[in-house]
Amino acid sequence: MNFLETEHVVKQFSGHLALNKVSIRVPEGKIFGLLGPNGAGKTTLIRIINRITAPDSGTVRIDGRESRPDDIYRIGYMPEERGLYKKMKVGEQALYLARLKGLPYDEAKKRLTRWFDKFGITSWWNRELEELSKGMQQKVQFIITVIHDPALLIFDEPFSGFDPINVDILKQEILELKQQGKTIIFSTHNMASVEEICDEITLINRAEVVLSGEVREIRRRFRTQTFRLSIPSLPEGTSLASDNFAVLSENRHDDVTELRIRKQQQISNADLLTEISRSSDIYSFTEELPSMNEIFINTVSGTNPTHE
């Protein structure tokens, strides 16, 4: 069941097309990565989902029906351009924003108290935002995003500007939200974190969807038949290479040699191993799946016109 779907969303700005018939499917309870280089149209799509701007054509569906104005209360959005009122007291500010998200005063206060406790920032309630460190400001920002307990969370570049410790805290929180059954859209350039936490992705380049699917499936789809092999070192001058596979690199550490090999596609792993084991013992054998980073770069540069 998809929590959110967009169908052929088109958005034109003066002189350029920001989104060209973009369709995405975000399954319920999953972490969905919305990827793409700068200027691909990610933020525009997110703003359309948030009903900040309207699409020129196409539809956004939530829970199977067309999105309605009050759907914004079911969305928690942490924009890439983060900011809060600098001169306003932290608690007062959080209360104000929570109430704009539709929470009654008492409920907002109760929930905020709990979150502030959880992040250990209760003593900052009456301080002005300016006085807080950047990391703490981001904690406040996170609390504001989740305070109304939305079913869909959208994080636009959530890790930019966070220090490693806070990145980790944030990751844990996001995974916890997933466990609670929330649907999460995660827009980022940080491919390492995509591999780590995303279930599905859609890659947008130049206003169009160029790739989408499950992360594991995509990585398998882009497999290059490359393997890492570790064997006892062979005598100088002898080579393992055959018609069935090529050696890409060889790394000798005294009596152990590490190899990267690429096999012919029609050869099965079993046949490959049988062939190698005829000439040598095998310590380890693993397939090297392409990283999301490589897939990202290949797909993006592959879809860009080369004459530019």
Residue 70 within binding range of another protein, rule CB under 8 A: no
Binding residue for another protein, selected from 14, 239, 265, 268, defined by CB under 8 A = 14
Which tokens in the block code for residue 68?
Answer: 């309605």
Residue 125 within binding range of another protein, rule CB under 8 A: no
Neighbours of 78 (CB within 10 A): 19
Tell me the sheet residues that pair with 10: 57
> DSSP 3-state assignment of 194?
helix
CA distance linking residue 286 with residue 8, whole number of Å: 41
Interface positions, 268-287, toward another protein (CB under 8 A): none
Residue 98: exposed, middle, or buried by beta-carbon count in 10 A (0-12, 13-18, 19+)? buried
Binding residue for another protein, selected from 55, 91, 158, 290, defined by CB under 8 A = 55
* Binding segment (CB under 8 A) for another protein, from list 1-9, 31-39, 77-85, 264-272: 77-85
- In this structure, are residues 43 and 156 in contact, taking their beta carbons and an 8 Å threshold? yes
Of the two residues 74 and 263, which places its CB atom closer to another protein in the complex?
A: 74
Total site size for another protein, rule CB under 8 A: 29
Residue 53 within binding range of another protein, rule CB under 8 A: yes
Binding residue for another protein, selected from 8, 16, 39, 52, defined by CB under 8 A = 52
Of the two residues 145 and 202, which places its CB atom closer to another protein in the complex?
A: 145
Of the two residues 35 and 98, which places its CB atom closer to another protein in the complex?
A: 98
Binding mask 80-109 for another protein (x = CB under 8 A): -xxxxxx-x-------xx-xxxx-------
CA distance linking residue 27 with residue 1, whole number of Å: 6
Of the two residues 130 and 287, which places its CB atom closer to another protein in the complex?
A: 130
Residues in the chain: 308
- In this structure, are residues 46 and 60 in contact, taking their beta carbons and an 8 Å threshold? no
CA distance linking residue 171 with residue 42, whole number of Å: 21
Of the two residues 81 and 281, which places its CB atom closer to another protein in the complex?
A: 81
Residues 6 or more apart whose Cβ sits within 8 Å of residue 217? none
Which tokens in the block code for residue 2?
Answer: 């998809």
* Binding segment (CB under 8 A) for another protein, from list 52-60, 185-193, 221-229, 272-280: 52-60
* Binding segment (CB under 8 A) for another protein, from list 49-57, 131-139, 213-221, 268-276: 49-57
- Shortest distance in whole angstroms from residue 14 CB to another protein: 5
**DSSP conformational letter for 150:** -
Which tokens in the block code for residue 112?
Answer: 């905020």
Residues engaged in binding another protein (CB under 8 A): 13-14, 47, 50, 52-56, 72-73, 75, 77-79, 81-86, 88, 96-97, 99-102, 144
